[in-house]
Amino acid sequence: MDCKDTDHRWHLLRHRPCTQRSPEACNLILCSSLRVQEAMAKSRGQLYLWMCLAAALASFLAGFSVGWFIKPVKETTISAHYQQSTKWKLLSEMKAENIKSFLRSFTKLPHLAGTEQNLLLAKEIQMHWKRFGLDSVNLVHYDVLLSYPNETNANYVSIVDEHGTEIFKTSYFEPPPDGYKNVTNIVPPYNAFSPQGIPEGELLYVNYARTEDFFKLEREMGINCTGKIVIARYGKIFRGNKVKNAMLAGAIGIILYSDPADYSAPGVQPYPKGWNLPGTAAQRGNVLNLNGAGDPLTPGYPAKEYTFRLNVEDGVGIPKIPVHPIGYTDAEILLRHLGGPASPDETWKGTLNVAYKIGPGFTGSDTSRKVQMHVHNTNTITRIYNVIGTIRGCVEPDRYVILGGHRDSWVFGGIDPTTGTAVLQEIAQSFGKLLKAGWRPRRTIIFASWDAEEFGLLGSTEWAEENVKVLQERSVAYINSDSSIEGNYTIRIDCTPLLYQLVYKLTKEISSPDDGFESKSLYESWLEKDPSPENKDHPRINKLGSGSDFEAYFQRLGIASGRARYTKNRRTEKYSNYPMYHTIYETFELVENFYDPSFKKQLSVAQLRGALVYELADSTIIPFNIQDYANTLKTYSESIFNLSKKYGQQLTENGVSFVTAEQSLESVFMKDKA
Is the pLDDT assigned to residue 393 strictly greater than 70?
yes
Q: Which residues have CB under 8 Å from 470's CB, separation 6+? A: none
Is the pLDDT assigned to residue 77 strictly greater than 70?
no
Is the pLDDT assigned to residue 31 strictly greater than 70?
no
Q: Per-residue pLDDT averaged across 394-408, rounded?
A: 98
Q: In a 3-state reduction of DSSP, which class is residue 630?
A: helix
Helical ranges in 70-172 per DSSP H: 71-93, 96-106, 116-132
Predicted pLDDT at 52: 60
pLDDT band for position 12 (cuts 50, 70, 90) = very low
Predicted pLDDT at 7: 47
Predicted pLDDT at 667: 72
Predicted pLDDT at 354: 97
pLDDT band for position 54 (cuts 50, 70, 90) = low
Instruction: Tell which residue, 318, 159, 320, 154, has the closest CA to residue 231.
Output: 159
With vertex at residue 576, the alpha carbon angle to CA 575 and CA 579, rounded to the nearest 5 degrees, is: 80
Is the pLDDT assigned to residue 37 strictly greater than 80?
no
Q: What share of the chain is helix, strand, coil (3-state, %, to 5)?
A: 45, 15, 40
Q: Which of residues 69 and 621 earns the better pLDDT score?
A: 621
Please compute, for residue 97, the number of CA atoms within 13 A of its CA located in the half-sphere on the CB side: 2
Is the pLDDT assigned to residue 17 strictly greater than 70?
no
Give residue-wise pLDDT tens across range 338-361: 999 999 999 999 999 999 999 999
Predicted pLDDT at 391: 98
Q: Which residues have CB under 8 Å from 258's CB, separation 6+? A: 233, 234, 235, 277, 281, 282, 283, 327, 328, 579
Predicted pLDDT at 60: 62
Predicted pLDDT at 49: 64
Instruction: Tell which residue, 620, 619, 615, 479, has the closest CA to residue 553.
Output: 479
Cβ pair 565, 400 in contact under 8 A:
no
Q: Per-residue pLDDT averaged across 644-669, rounded?
A: 82
Predicted pLDDT at 8: 45
Q: What percentage of the chain carries pLDDT values higher than 90?
A: 79
Please compute, for residue 126, the number of CA atoms within 13 A of its CA located in the half-sphere on the CB side: 16
Most confident of the following: 16-25, 126-135, 659-668:
126-135
Q: In a 3-state reduction of DSSP, which class is residue 51?
A: helix
Predicted pLDDT at 35: 55
Predicted pLDDT at 447: 98
Cβ pair 193, 377 in contact under 8 A:
yes
From 83-87, 195-199, 428-432, 609-613, the region with the lowest mean pLDDT: 83-87
Cβ pair 424, 430 in contact under 8 A:
no
Predicted pLDDT at 29: 45
Cβ pair 380, 148 in contact under 8 A:
yes
Is the pLDDT assigned to residue 70 strictly greater than 80?
no
From 43-57, 253-267, 391-405, 527-541, the region with the lowest mean pLDDT: 43-57
Predicted pLDDT at 390: 98
Give residue-wise pLDDT tens across range 373-392: 999 999 999 999 999 999 99
Is the pLDDT assigned to residue 278 strictly greater than 50?
yes
| Average pLDDT over all residues of the chain | 91
pLDDT band for position 503 (cuts 50, 70, 90) = very high
Predicted pLDDT at 548: 97
Predicted pLDDT at 166: 97
Predicted pLDDT at 64: 54
Predicted pLDDT at 649: 85
Is the pLDDT assigned to residue 189 strictly greater than 50?
yes
pLDDT band for position 42 (cuts 50, 70, 90) = low
The sign of the CA dihedral 548, 549, 550, 553 is positive
What is the value of pTM for the model shown?
Answer: 0.87
- According to the 3-state scheme, what is the secondary structure of 509-539? HCECCCCCCCCCEHHHHHHHHCECCCCCCCE
Residue type, 488: N
Q: In a 3-state reduction of DSSP, which class is residue 664?
A: helix
pLDDT band for position 479 (cuts 50, 70, 90) = very high
Predicted pLDDT at 248: 98
How far does the chain reach from its first CA to its final CA, in angstroms?
73
Instruction: Tell which residue, 518, 506, 628, 465, has the closest CA to residue 91.
Output: 506
Give residue-wise pLDDT tens across range 438-468: 999 999 999 999 999 999 999 999 999 999 9
394 φ, ψ (degrees, to nearest 5)? -100, -20
Which residues partner with 370 through β-bridges? Answer: 160
Predicted pLDDT at 124: 98
Give residue-wise pLDDT tens across range 583-641: 999 999 999 999 999 999 999 999 999 999 999 999 999 999 999 998 898 888 888 88
Is the pLDDT assigned to residue 80 strictly greater than 80?
no
Instruction: Tell which residue, 531, 540, 517, 670, has the closest CA to residue 604.
Output: 517
pLDDT band for position 663 (cuts 50, 70, 90) = confident
Predicted pLDDT at 666: 76
Is the pLDDT assigned to residue 662 strictly greater than 80?
no
Predicted pLDDT at 482: 97
Q: Per-residue pLDDT averaged across 293-305, rounded?
A: 97
Q: What percentage of the chain carries pLDDT values higher than 70?
A: 87
Predicted pLDDT at 18: 45
Please state, in angstroms and rounded to a whole number, the distance separating the CA atoms of residues 460 and 468: 12
Q: Per-residue pLDDT averaged across 506-529, rounded?
A: 97
Give residue-wise pLDDT tens across range 169-184: 999 999 999 999 999 9
